[in-house]
Amino acid sequence: MHVVIVGGGWAGLAAAVELCHHGVRVTVLEAAPQLGGRARGLDYTVNGQRIDNGQHLLLGAYRETLRLLNVVGIAEATVFERRPLQLVYKAFGCADIRITCPSLPAPLHLLTALLNAEGLTLPERLNALSICRGLLRSGFNAGDDVSVAAWLSRNKQSPALIRALWEPLCLAVLNTPLHNASAQIFLRVLQDAFARSRSDSDLLLSRVDLGGTFPEPARRFIEQHGGTVKLSHRVKGITVQDNAVRKVSVNDHEITASHVILAIPPNACQRLLEPHTALRGIAQQLGEISHEPICTVYIQYPPQTRLEMPMIGLLDTTAQWVFDRALYGQPGLMAVVISGPGPHMAMRKDELSAHAIAELARIFPHWATPEHSLVVREKSATFACRPGINTLRPSATTPVRGCWLAGDHTDTGYPATLEGAVRSGVECARRIIAGG
Ligand SMILES: Cc1cc2nc3c(=O)[nH]c(=O)nc-3n(C[C@H](O)[C@H](O)[C@H](O)COP(=O)(O)OP(=O)(O)OC[C@H]3O[C@@H](n4cnc5c(N)ncnc54)[C@H](O)[C@@H]3O)c2cc1C
């Protein structure tokens, strides 16, 4: 058996690690000169500091990701700082909002956190509690897959609570604005984070660049187990004969495979599937998946500049979250995250930097003038997580024998996240190992 994995993002690497772990020979072909895909370290720096293509945050509920980290021999604490969930939101001229999960069993920790939230009025806190109690009773079932905005209005959430709690949470979790976001997928994440164990809602912030968290340890593991990882190898086509996959074409040669896992984004996958009649239906489906951007503005302040905690949410501003990169050994470097679409996408990079710096100056008036800034825009950061999207997401299997699909866009039930990507890769690997 020889499994060729197309794409060295977290989905492809997860599949490769799981297969190698079970003694299967793999070759990973990655088009880019480095691994990691949409979660990777960049070669350029801000003020000499290496940065990522975007700030990433993991949850304690990311069980498959954490399990694979263990498989490749990485102790969680060496690459991630784990903290109990604490959310702090700041808005110019308003009191801070603080939601802190106490050390109580789930879901009591969530209910207590909402009941004691600072900066929300008692009616707002009771309003939030009532929807959470409803969720627990219904098993986190939204009924039909409406938008998050419609679901909130159905559950009589006040505009103030939507602004302070639900809107930022929805953007952070689904990277899609409330009125376009799928309630079903939103509730799935809330359920995984809050309904099972207290530690599932923990936040995991990386201490090293993204390449060092999983992609590079995964490459070492794959190579130590007899697998091959080839960078700058873009797959141009797959060969299908007698309804089974036989080869992939890459650069100027072909590689024979018993199985091929396409762990690449929807548009790239569509191009490889389209020429094959049996796969054209899936290709068309993939063509209907649209994307949302994420922008990260890195701003270097003097090294003594610190946030009171590693990340702080901002309300009523273009900037949505600020991450303090001191945790990465980059004191004074702030990563400002802007999820989803908006007028900021049409701004020039220098305009957007200046805009973000001006917003931070209003909220943190004691901060000195920054020394450098850099904007990283990922135009297709995630699939648009809109209502009904689950009906477009393909499963791991295809009508062609040996041809498998992985990637955060496949039918994991998760939004576009590292955990969704990893689960999709592991799913393909398990099916292949089981003789699929
Ligand atoms: C800025 C940003 C912030 C994010 N924040 C978070 C977060 O906080 N938490 C979270 O969980 N998720 C976050 N995400 C989402 C997360 O990064 C993605 O869901 C995940 O990385 C997707 O992994 P993947 O393997 O499915 O796809 P990809 O990462 O897109 O991997 C696909 C790989 O295939 C390669 N490829 C494409 N075509 C070919 C070809 N023909 N031949 C060979 N190789 C090919 C690509 O180069 C790429 O490396 C964020 C994403 C971005 C962009």
Residue 220 CA to ligand 1 center (angstroms) comes to 20
> Domain limits of the chain?
2-43+60-72+207-289+386-433, 100-201, 291-383
Residues 6+ positions from 353 with CB-CB distance below 8 Å: 297, 299, 373, 374, 375
From ligand 1's centre to the CA of 251, what distance in Å?
22
Question: Does the structure show a pLDDT above 90 at 272?
Answer: yes
Q: Is 199 helix (H, G, I), strand (E, B) or coil?
A: helix
Contact present, 97 and 113 (Cβ < 8 Å):
no
Which protein residues touch ligand 1 with a CB less than 6 Å away?
A: 6-12, 29-32, 37-39, 53-54, 56-58, 234-235, 263-265, 268, 294, 296, 378, 381-382, 407-408, 416-419, 421
> Mean of the pLDDT values across residues 13-17?
98
pLDDT at 436: 64
Q: Whose CA is nearest to atom 3 of ligand 1?
A: 54
Q: How far is the CA of 35 from the centre of ligand 1 (A)?
A: 10
Domain 291-383 classification at class level: alpha beta
User: 104-142, pLDDT tens digit by residue?
Assistant: 999 999 999 999 999 999 999 999 999 999 999 999 988
Comparing 271 with 42, the larger pLDDT belongs to 271
**Atom of ligand 1 at shortest range from CA of 12:** 25
State the pLDDT at residue 246: 95
pLDDT, position 50: 83
Residues of 9-47 as b/e, b for ≥16 C-beta within 10 angstroms?
bbbbbbbbbbbbbeebebbbbbbeebbbbbbbbbeeebb
Query: Which CATH number is 2-43+60-72+207-289+386-433's, of 3.50.50.60, 2.30.30.90, 3.30.1300.10, 1.10.287.3510?
Result: 3.50.50.60
Candidate of 38, 171, 379 to mutate for ligand 1, largest count of ligand atoms within 8 Å of Cβ: 38
pLDDT in tens, 337-385: 999 999 999 999 999 999 999 999 999 999 999 989 999 999 999 999 9
Q: Whose CA is nearest to atom 15 of ligand 1?
A: 417
Report how far Cα 413 is from the mean position of its chain's Cα atoms: 13
Give 345 Cα–ligand 1 centroid separation in angstroms.
20
Separation of 38 CA from ligand 1 center, angstroms?
3
Per-residue pLDDT tens for 176-230? 999 999 999 999 999 999 999 999 999 999 999 999 999 999 999 999 999 999 9
H helix runs in 233-344, sequence order: 266-273, 280-287
